A = this chain, B = another copy of it.
Amino acid sequence: MNPLTMKLEQFTSLAEDERKWLDEFCSSSRRTFEPGQPIFERGQRATEVVVVLDGLAIRRKSLRDGRQQLLAFLIPGDLCDVEVFVLEAMDHDIVAVGETVCAFVPAKVMEAQLHRSCNLTRALWWSTMLDSAILREWLVGHGSRDARARVAHLFFELLIRHRLVGRAQGDSFALPLPQEALAEAVGMTAVHLNRTLQELRADGLIRFEKKALTVLDPAGLKAAASFESDYLHLKRTEGRNQAASHRTGDLVSSSPI
């Protein structure tokens, strides 16, 4: 199954024709990007919506003083903004990390779909809301979590997201990034990230080798991150009432994750 379908099934059950539409969606004009190659660049107009099918891409914003901030990881199944095409120009870059396969969907096709009132449209909106929610959670991390918790949180989030689209092998997943880039993601220097990684390693929580991250102690990592998973809005795995789940503790913590 294509990763986008897998992801959207977290939100709702899809009918056969909807799955078929998504398959076509994902097979429309594919392109493969080499490591470091830009998919969209700041200033450019995006006339197509991109879906990552394989590999890894990042959103990144570069400041004039040369510093860069990583804004999001786009893993298989992730869309780069369902409605980008309404903007005149991108305000940041999207860049491939490792070899990355994407499908390009013309704005018109996307728009046509968004005007058909159905399950699928709502599912796409859900994915948009999810992206914002993740972004907000990153902001929370930058604003109020220390280095250790921030890194732990990122890793735990990525583990869950990779699982959702079937890209995790057990408790590990591909993360073909230099520490330098990871540091940009969590908003700290590469040196300090390195020390933080060593700390997490020493505590037996993770392993990060050969461009892959392995979570050795999921519960421990989750605790280190003080991870609360409601922001991922995975309702199908948790039953209906999230309000209750938020108050009674955290249902996901008792799940296999």
Contact = CB atoms under 8 A, between A and B. Distances in A.
Interface of A: 11, 42-45, 59, 61, 63-65, 67-71, 81, 83-84, 86-89, 91-92, 111, 114-117, 122, 125-126, 128-129, 131-133, 135-140, 142-144, 184, 186-187, 226, 228, 230-231, 233, 235, 240, 242-244, 246-247
A81 B130 CA distance: 12
A69 B140 contact: yes
A136 to B, nearest CB: 5
A127 B235 CA distance: 27
Contact of A243 (B45, B64, B136): B45
Contacts of A88: 233, 235, 240, 242
Contacts of A45: 243
Contacts of A144: 63, 67-69, 187
Nearest to A72: B136
Contacts of A114: 114
B43 A242 contact: yes
B187 A61 contact: no
A64 to B, nearest CB: 6
B129 A81 contact: yes
Contacts of A63: 140, 144, 226
Contacts of A143: 69-70, 142, 184, 186-187
A2 B133 CA distance: 28
A131 B129 contact: no
Given A91-B133, A131-B132, A42 B84 contact: no
B243 A83 contact: no
Which 5 residue pairs are nearest across A and B when measured between Cβ atoms? A143-B187, A89-B242, A43-B243, A142-B142, A43-B246
A91 B242 CA distance: 9
* Central interface residue in A88, A128, A246, by most chain B CB within 10 Å: A88
B71 A136 contact: yes
Given A136-B135, A144-B69, A89 B187 contact: no
A86 B87 CA distance: 23
28 contacts: A42-B230, A42-B246, A43-B246, A44-B243, A63-B140, A67-B144, A70-B143, A71-B136, A71-B140, A81-B129, A81-B132, A83-B125, A86-B126, A86-B129, A87-B126, A87-B129, A88-B235, A88-B242, A89-B230, A89-B233, A89-B243, A91-B136, A91-B231, A91-B233, A114-B114, A135-B135, A139-B139, A143-B186
